[in-house]
Amino acid sequence: MRKIVILMTLSILFNNCFPHKTKEEKITEKHLKTSYQNSEVLHNQQVATENDYITKIIPPNSVIMGYVIDGYEPSKEQYEKMTHIAISFLRATNSHGDIAMTSGWENLNEIITSAHANGVKALISFGGGAFKVTSELMGIEQNRQNLIRNIIKFIRDHELDGFDCDWEPSWIDDKTEMEKINNALTNYYITFIREFRKALDDEFGKGNKIFTAAILNGNSIWYSSKKQIAHFPQNGWWHYLDWISLMNYDNDLGSKHATFESVFGSQGSVSYWTAFGIPQSKIMIGVPFYGRAGWGDEWLFYKDIVNMNPMIADTVDYIMHNKSKLERKKEYGFNGVSTIIRKVKELKKLNLTGIMFWQLSGDLPSTHQKSLLKAMNEEFIK
C-alpha cells in the first residue's frame, strides 16, 4: 500500500513539473497551425498585374550597378563609370524583424556621402547568399511588418536612394529544413514585395525611391538528383519592382561559368525570365568579377587572374590553376574583356535596363587597360 501511495505522489509531482497540454491549448495550437497553413495557401494564390501597380519607366541601357561589400569604398575613377552601387548586406538578426549590417560597414555613411558627391545612387542590398528567409519572419504579419518598418527607417536615417531585395536559396545538409526555408521565400515573396512597395511609397512618395530585386540565373533548385523545384513564384511580383537583376553566375563551373550563351542563348537566362513574364524593359543582366572552378572556396578574383597572367588575352575566359596546392589544376572560368563587351552590346540591342556585377573589389583599378568596369563603361557610352 505504501508503494502505491509513493508512486501516486511521484506521478502527481511529475505531471505538475511537466504538465500536459490542456484541451484548450491543443485546440489553440491546432487553430494556429491551420491558420498558418491557410495563410500560406492565401499568399500563394496572390497574383499581381499592371492593373495593381505600374512603376516609373527606367530608360533602357541606363544602369551600371556595382555591388560593394565589407566596407569597400570605390575610387573616384570607379564612381565615374557607374550609376549605382548596391551596399551589401543588411540582414534581419532574428525572426522579429530586427536588422543590422554585415561586418565592415562602420564607414557606411561615408560611402553613401561619397557616392552622392560623385553623382552615384546608393541602394542597400538586403539578404545575400548566407541569409535564410524563415517562415517565422515572413509568415507572421507582425514580424514581417516590423522588418519593413525597420528597413524603411534605415533608408530614411542613412539617406539611401533605394532598396535591393537579394533573397537567395539556402543550401543546407538537412533537406527537410532546407525545403522549409526555401518555401518560406516562395510562399511569401509577393506579400513582402507588395507590402514593402506600399511602405516605401507611403514614406517617400511614389517613385521617389528605387526598389529592385536580385534573382537566380534560372528558377530551379535541386534538392537531390531526383527532385527539382521552382523557386520564385510566377505571380506577377515583378510589377512592384523598378528592375530585376539576374545573377548570371554560379550557374555552372569552369569554362561554363557565366558564359554568353547562358545569359543570351535560346535556353539562356534572359529568354527564360522573359517567357516567365518579366518584361525586357525591367531586366538587368549580371556578370561576375571573379572566376570559379568549383563550389566553396574554389574561386579567384578577376584582378588576381590578370595579376598572375599579365599578358592574358582579352578573349580568354578560363585559366588552369591549382589554388589549394594539394590537388591537380582546375579550370577557372571567368569573363574577360571581350566577353564583357559582347554582353553589353547584346543587352543594348535588346534595350534591357542595364548591367550589374558582383563585386567591385574583384576588378582591377578602372584606369587599368584590362579593367572590366572600364570596358563595360566604354561600350555603354558608344
Residue 15: per-residue pLDDT: 44
| Domain ranges, ordered by start, for the chain | 21-247
- Cell numbers at residue 193, please? 514585395
Phi, psi of 278 (to 5 degrees): -80, 125
pLDDT value for 326:
67
pLDDT, tens digit, 9 for 90 and up, residues 27-49: 333 443 443 444 454 556 789 99
Task: List the chain residues with pLDDT less than 70.
Answer: 1-44, 222-225, 228-230, 326
| Coil, strand or helix at 4 | helix
Q: What is the CATH number of domain 21-247?
A: 3.20.20.80
What's the confidence (pLDDT) of residue 157? 98
Residues pairing with 215 in the sheet: 246
Q: Is the entire prediction scored with pTM above 0.85?
A: yes
Reading the block at residue 316, the C-alpha cell is 580568354
Nearest alpha-carbon partner for 84 in 121, 116, 111: 121
> Which residue type, as a one-letter code, is found at position 151?
I
Quick: pLDDT tens for 171-204. Answer: 777 878 888 878 888 899 999 999 999 999 999 9
Contact 317, 333 (CB under 8 A): yes
Angle made by CA atoms 75, 160, 344, in degrees to the nearest 5? 55
Residue by residue, DSSP assigns 96-111 as T--EEEPTT-TTHHHH
CA distance 132 to 72: 24
